Amino acid sequence: MPEKDVITYSLKFILTNLITFLLILLIGITTDNLYNILLSALSFSLLRVFSGGFHINNPDLCIASSLIIVYSISNISQFTASNYNLFFGLVSLILVIIFAPSRIEEHSIINKNKHYIFKIISIMIIIIGFLSKNEIIQFSFFIQSLTLIHLRLKGGEINE
């Protein structure tokens, strides 16, 4: 039988993601923007699964920030991303090459020696997203790639 901590973590993970998804659906339906919101959530999440990124440990803050990010992506991308697709694609690719996978050790059962596979998959996702020429996908990948950055200054030096 699994340990209590494993069960608790699993339940929190499932509930947090389920609540977030249901709220995203609700926001999409009530704002009559379901397709764009789902596209931004799915593309953001797809890259996040393989590239990792900053995690908020508080479930309430995680849900709130996820909703804000997805809603913002679905709305802002319509006005800005088509003019900046090349920029968003290149910056996303550079950040994934440098930082992915980022902070996935606690969230993955894959051996650290195999993390380069996550980097390769993340790069392929960015390239496919770029080729799609879809503003929402491009902007989602750009925002997700920003969560990969994890530099810490210590004694005047940059350490990871």
Q: How confident is the model at residue 63 (pLDDT cuts 50, 70, 90)?
A: confident
In 3-state terms, what secondary structure has residue 131?
helix
* pLDDT tens-digit series, residues 119-150: 999 999 999 999 998 999 999 999 999 999 97
DSSP 3-state percent helix, strand, coil across the chain (nearest 5): 75, 5, 20
Cα–Cα dist 1/64, whole Å? 33
The Cα 73–Cα 46 span in angstroms is 15
Domain-by-domain residue ranges, the chain? 4-159
Where is pLDDT greater, at 77 or 43? 43
What does pTM read for this prediction?
0.83
Instruction: Report which of residues 55 and 96 the model is more confident about.
Output: 96
pLDDT at 8 over 70: yes
| Average pLDDT of the residues of the chain | 85
Within 10 angstroms of residue 57's Cβ, the number of other Cβ atoms is 7
More confident residue, 63 or 145: 145
- Which one is predicted more confidently, 93 or 86? 93
| pLDDT for position 77 | 79
